[in-house]
Amino acid sequence: MTQPALPTHILTILAVKDLKASAAFYEEAFGWPARVRVPVYVELELPDGRGLGVYQRESFALNTGQLPARVPDGEISGTELYLRCADVAQTIDRLREAGARELSPLAPRDWGDDAAYFADPDGNVLVVARPTTLD
């Protein structure tokens, strides 16, 4: 008996309070180009062809039938994007320049990566990481 094909992750969408600011943040922080740009939604293309969408919160609710919770300023959501980077230091600089809030500095983590934690303008957690090297 053959196994059914497993689902493929192609797109992550974040509901955001300020579409223009969130799209600009991700474009500046990571340099990902927009492949879709409409009044309520911007979709960025990641290097592997997957996408990251930022969707204006109230319009997001039209699809779900429920308005997503608003994360209070200074707090974080339960969403984390974990990104491996060839040049973590440069990516950290770009995140800071784009206005990301640092949560935890670059440090070796128990799972074998050096990782730094940041929050985007909507409180979503962004992790930039590289494998820990033993020099």
78 falls within a domain: yes
8 Å CB contact between 62 and 39: no
Is there a domain that residue 4 lies in?
Answer: no
Q: Is residue 1 part of a domain?
A: no
> For residue 108, what are the domain limits?
11-131
Query: pLDDT at residue 9 above 90?
Result: yes
Confidence (pLDDT) at 2? 82
Cα 91–68–30 angle (5° rounding)? 15
In a domain, 2, yes or no: no
Residue with tokens 């950290």: 92
pLDDT above 80: residue 135: no
pLDDT at 134: 61
The answer to whether position 17 is within a domain reads: yes
Kindly state the tokens that stand for 14: 């974040």
Q: Which residue has the higher pLDDT, 4 or 93?
A: 93
**Which two tokens mark 9?**
């992750």
pLDDT at residue 56 in the model: 97
In tens, the pLDDT along 22-54 reads 999 999 999 999 999 999 999 999 999 999 999
Domain presence at residue 71: yes
pLDDT band at residue 3 using 50, 70 and 90 as cut-offs? confident
**CATH number, position 80:** 3.10.180.10
pLDDT digits (tens, 9 = 90+) for 58-115: 999 999 999 999 999 999 999 999 999 999 999 999 999 999 999 999 999 999 999 9
Domain assignment present for 3? no
On whether residue 30 sits in a domain, the answer given is yes
Domain count, the chain: 1
